[in-house]
Structure 1
Amino acid sequence: MIQLIWMDELNTVESPIVALTEITKEKLALLLNGKKILPSDDGFPRDWRGVAQCLDCDNDVVQQLGRSASPTVALLERCRARPVADLWRALQDVGRWDVQDDARYMIEDDVRLYQERLSSSAATSSAVSLLPGLNDADLLCVGDAECLRAGRPLPTFDAFLLYDDGDTEFAAQIIERMEARGIKLCDKERHLLPGVTFEHQGIIRLMETRCHRVLAVLSPQFLQSAVNKFLAMFAQALGLDKRGRMLLPCVYQKCTLPSYLMYCSRLDFTRGVGLVNAWDKMYETLSVAMVTRTRSASHSVTDALPAPAAAKPRSDSTPCCASTPPDDPPAAETSAGESSWSGRAFLRNLKSRLRSSESADPAEQQVGGEADGKAGQERRAHRPKLFTAKDKQKTKAKREKKKEAKALMAA
């Protein structure tokens, strides 16, 4: 009775299993992964297998979960959309009161934190919608309302992770490996806000405006879904529209690829260990988008910085170089009209030379011209010759050889 009251207080019916943190999942896995021999009063196994049966998992799914490294964590990832109340009742049905006692406070903190985030996002979204120029349809991910309220740009992602519900274990492995290396992935279960009118419309908007890549986990279950096919084709068409690589196919299980994916370069995890590590190739492909994201963030920060202050005028009583104009143009005029400034300087020098020539004596000009002519002849006499007679003969011989070669080619 106490447990039912606790569940009603925390409203676990509306809190999904995805609200549980990784620490809580590891705690449940530590308590439920070990197989129990004696069944419960209702005939369920008193371990993760009984919890899976209570959560409506058939025998095939139970066998598939048993092949994973941590069956409990895989079960929680598969049933992430189920409410926490179903998990709590499943622990009661299998008779694991010890698990409830050990993990009660951890689940309680996770559910309370999830509800606080939902309430804060709802409050901020209602407040943001009252601001001019903002639309409630722009709120797609968790944290968008806070960014809009603080005046920051909406968060972007290196890639959107597109996968089927049956491949959640491998998707969780991708998230763990890539985010450990700094890649920012968008997952609809973690980031997409509840209340979007059409979930697929929200995913399309995320692909189009927030994500640099779309990482598609290909498997037979993925290709059987018409929605996944549509989203993959949309990502490929979006890449053609942007004239870049948008869709990154990742073959998780052996399957027959459709025509629009057959000739794409892809990551293949079905070949086993080879000469190239598929995880490194995935990181190298997604890191390009990460560099683009960091550069855009740095540009936005530099744009937000204030402009440097203008230089203050000199306070000296005697200004520097006030009587003579500057020889070099100012920086502003050099960038804007360098050619016009050089033309003005040329005209000014030409006028000064004409004035000096008019004021000089004609006899002196004749003597000066004769002196300049003799000096020029002496300089030309001492100047080394660039081409000698031998060089001319060599060039002539080369030209004749070229003519002969052309004649032979024409024959």
Structure 2
Amino acid sequence: MSDSTTNEKFNVSISILSATARTILSTLLNPPKCIPTKENLQRDWYGLADLLGYSSEEISLFRISSDPTNNILQKWESCEDSIIAKLLCCLQKMDRFDIIADIFDIIISDIALYENSNKAGSNNIDTSLFITIKDYEYHRRGLQPIIYHASILYAPEDVDFAYEIVSHLENKFKMNIFVPERDLIVGIMEKNATMRIIASRCQKLLTILSPAFIESSVNKYFLSFAQSLGVDNSMRKIIPIVYKICDIPIELQPIHKLSYKSAWPGNFYEKLQYSLQKAKCIDTSNSSFKSTASINGGVSAIQSFPKHDNVEILQTIKKPETSGSIPKKKVGVVQKVMTKIGIKKKRSKKKEMVEVAA
């Protein structure tokens, strides 16, 4: 598979890749590979970064990430040459034909989904209504605007802690977190846009409580707004996180709070994760089909994929058997064995008991 012979249908942006494809790429490229290719090219994420031309400084930043492959893909998406054809060529040069085999059918389905969305007229959406940068990204992929697991509210003095929380939730737990300073489009009315996100496009509001937070009138306004939404809709909208000792706002005093410093050892992010899991976020990257990937077993079970041209996507994909279940073909054999061993013994005991009674 070379750049010149690759089918034109793969000349689309990698931004259309689904979460399933990205997860498989990360799972198979993140672990380090000791044996390089004949051209002395690393066969893991390092080799991908090398082929894409990233500098040693950028590679060093990828190395300290919990998911370097995903970070590489996200950074590469903004480049003009970030197409699926080049990604497949890179995997070929790295001798990672195993990855190509695992994700090829999924990529075909992602492209078909993208093309079908374009045919349906999804590109006629009024882009002037977009609020965040990801709105444009999802629009290019033929998807609806993103729904966030949570929005985060903090004081400028606590930005480092806020960044730590966002990085942990997004990289480790694969959650979508709305950060106004990072995600809003430049020039938009920040206050109105943030209120729209909190009201209709995020399930929860994370508030990092500190003396600086309490002193901010803007934060107090957003806090009261979210509290009123929770009361009107009878839902748990606010997740308060006590970062520094401060006077807790009266509207948050009855609510159970998560304290960063006094949390049970190792329990802070676990508790935060479960608190956000109640928010059933819509994964718009796979909104028109259901998928499961059994990566460790090397088997993917994909259901309800759209067909691309004359390609029968589902023919080569088998659903993994549930562990411990007995195949139908073997049921008859098992029954015969039980009849010969178990059941006959029980019947013979009954006959013996009848004979003794007589």
Alignment TM class, shorter chain as reference? 0.3 to 0.5
Give TM-score, length-normalised by structure 1: 0.39
User: What is the TM-score with the length of structure 2 in the denominator?
Assistant: 0.43
Task: Name the one with the larger strand percent.
Answer: 2
Higher helix share: 1
Question: Which of 1 and 2 has greater Rg?
Answer: 1
